[in-house]
Amino acid sequence: MSDSEAYLKSITDFAPLFDKADYADGESIDGSSDLRHFIPKFMYYSPAWLVFLYKVRGALAKLMGLKRPDIPNTPPTPEDVSFTPGDMCQVFTVTHGKDNQYIAVAIDDTHLLARILVAAEQRENGVTRFHVGTTVEHQNWKGPVYMTLIKPFHHMIVRNMMAAGIKP
């Protein structure tokens, strides 16, 4: 278990999400902003190569009979970020949140329930360590098949999203 997974599991709202997961991971990155400013840049990271991968994912989803949510192309401002359960964050629904401390968002599809968990840990000298985790619960046989296909790209995408999140 990574230090980030341990940190995310220490958040009372997040611990049960790891317990139910068929797949879970966690990574961290240090930055100088707060969670409210990190989230829009992290969630709405969309370079051309990633847009291409989303299109490939769309074709795969169609073949597998999965939902294909449209990815919004207009990022929110930090003031638009909601930590209130039930509110939307891109194609995800906020399930847990504490203003500027942590947020969990989920997308419930026919094949899996995927969550992104993000927490901001205040460190010394104005540094914030952002812990980002993913939990996945398979809904049927398509879940593990889908995860096997996307897993090689998952860590690369998340790391790039995190780097985008800390940019000024």
Structural domains of the chain, ranges and CATH numbers in brackets: 3-165 (3.30.530)
Q: CB of 80 within 8 A of CB of 72?
A: no
Question: In this predicted structure, what is the pLDDT of residue 71?
Answer: 60
Name the residue with higher pLDDT: 96 or 142.
96
- pTM, whole model, 2 decimals? 0.89
Task: Please report how many Cα atoms fall inside a 13 Å half-sphere around the Cα of residue 77, on the Cβ side.
Answer: 1
* Tens of pLDDT, residues 8-62: 999 999 999 999 999 999 999 999 999 999 999 998 887 787 777 777 777 776 7
